[in-house]
Amino acid sequence: MQRFFFFLLLFLISLFVFSQEIVLKKEVLIESGSNQIFLSDFAENPEILRELGKDEIIFGYSPMPGRSMKVSLDYVISKFNRYLEGVTLICPEQDIIFVYRKASTNLSESTTETVMINDFEANVEKGDFGIYSEQALKEMFLKTFEQKLNVEFDDKLNLVYEEFPPTPFKARIESINIYSRGSKKYMVRMEYLTEEGSKKYETAVFTASWPVTGFKTNKLIRKDVLLSEEYLTFQEIDYFDYKDPVLSSQLTFDYVADYTISEDQVLEWGMLKKRAYVLKGQVINAVVHLAGVVVTSKVEMIENAEIGQLVRAKNVDTGIIITGILDEGPVLRVSY
């Protein structure tokens, strides 16, 4: 009898544990003083993770104060599945979760004469002269660098300056451009007007490093094959060792290989392209209207195609090649 009640108790406990649901947030807000994102930050009901002792699992580094980053929903789900068992995830109806970090309230001291980064664009537009601190110039260079690479850096970015303009710097800055100068080295060219009206320029040179989590192929991926987790593993890399590497927070699995990618390659955006609406080899429905009768059959696509394209496909049953217009569904509409 005692054994019976013992197993009954275990059964009831298992029902409680394995029926828990975690609701994932659409957006995550991180405090300005927190450099890390915890797995529990993504949960609307983080108390479940606290009860399981999983609330201090580190998800990754947070963006810089006042900035945001995009995280793939699939990647968030994979993290939860890695550390939690028997928990149901209720996911938002979106592919990306936005992570915001509050702006810092501990602003560096500045005088009314010193122009900070937030005033830079306004001053350029108005044609004002300002006095720029070293920190203000570095913030401007960083913003330009992000725009050049089309990324948002976090606080793991390390820029080591070999040359830098003298500060405080009094001028009207007209443009800032950044040029690559070899492996991890960049030059900043800043054009400005002096109070006397002379047009001049200053330069800065820095070396960049940024440890990030990217992807590495664990098997050969043939051209036009749709990416999936079976082909990839996470890999810690220096962003600047590669040409536009794919970050773990950026990838959604609607890309295909632009060419055959060999094993043990760090994944770069130049290796990928957006998948077509339908892929070569994909089996879809073909519809034809004959004398008022609708005939439907299965066809295999002979080529990649987008909606509205005239494409060829092979009838799965007869092997006959047919041509039609690809429609949303996907459906191949054939007319005779």
- Computed over every residue of the chain, the mean pLDDT equals 83
Q: What is the pLDDT of residues 11-39, one digit of tens each?
A: 444 444 445 789 999 889 888 777 778 88
33 and 64, same domain (yes or no): yes
244 and 270, same domain (yes or no): yes
Specify the number of domains making up the chain: 4
Residue that finishes a domain, picked among 184, 209, 234: 209
151 and 199, same domain (yes or no): yes
Q: What is the pLDDT of residues 181-217, one digit of tens each?
A: 988 999 999 999 988 888 999 999 999 999 999 999 9
pLDDT of residue 116: 44
- The answer to the question of residue 71 being in a domain is yes
Rounded to whole angstroms, the Cα distance separating 200 from 119 reads: 21
Q: Which residue has the higher pLDDT, 37 or 218?
A: 218
What token pair was written down for 9?
């108790």
pLDDT of residue 226: 84
Neighbours of 310 (CB within 10 A): 9
Degrees (nearest 5) of the Cα angle 155, 159, 164? 135
CATH number, domain at 252?
3.90.1210.10
81 and 172, same domain (yes or no): no
Asked if residue 159 has pLDDT above 70, the reply is: yes
Domain residue limits at 314? 283-334
pTM of the model as a whole: 0.54
What token pair was written down for 308?
């509205």
Q: What is the pLDDT of residues 44-74, one digit of tens each?
A: 998 888 888 888 887 777 777 777 778 888 8
Instruction: Report, as an integer, the average pLDDT of 261-290.
Output: 91
Q: How confident is the model at residue 170 (pLDDT cuts 50, 70, 90)?
A: confident
For residue 89, what are the contacts with CB-CB under 8 A and spacing of at least 6? 21, 22, 24, 77, 80
In the chain, pLDDT over 70 holds for what percent of residues? 86
pLDDT of residue 165: 93
CATH number, domain at 297?
2.30.30.760
Q: How confident is the model at residue 323 (pLDDT cuts 50, 70, 90)?
A: very high
Q: How confident is the model at residue 4 (pLDDT cuts 50, 70, 90)?
A: very low
Q: Which residue has the higher pLDDT, 65 or 123?
A: 65
Q: Which of 144-148, 246-250, 329-333 has the lowest mean pLDDT?
A: 246-250
- The answer to the question of residue 161 being in a domain is yes
313 and 261, same domain (yes or no): no
Q: Which of 24-28, 52-56, 142-146, 175-179 has the lowest mean pLDDT?
A: 52-56
- The answer to the question of residue 107 being in a domain is no
pLDDT of residue 104: 56
Q: Which residue is it, tokens 């799965």?
A: 316
Q: How confident is the model at residue 224 (pLDDT cuts 50, 70, 90)?
A: confident
Residue 237: CA atoms inside 13 Å, Cβ hemisphere, count? Answer: 21
Contact 311, 300 (CB under 8 A): no
Contact 142, 206 (CB under 8 A): no
88 and 122, same domain (yes or no): no
What token pair was written down for 112?
């009314």
Contact 299, 321 (CB under 8 A): no
292: left (phi over 0), alpha (psi -120 to 50) or beta: left
Q: How confident is the model at residue 128 (pLDDT cuts 50, 70, 90)?
A: low
Neighbours of 252 (CB within 10 A): 14
What's the full length of the chain, in residues?
Answer: 336
pLDDT of residue 2: 53
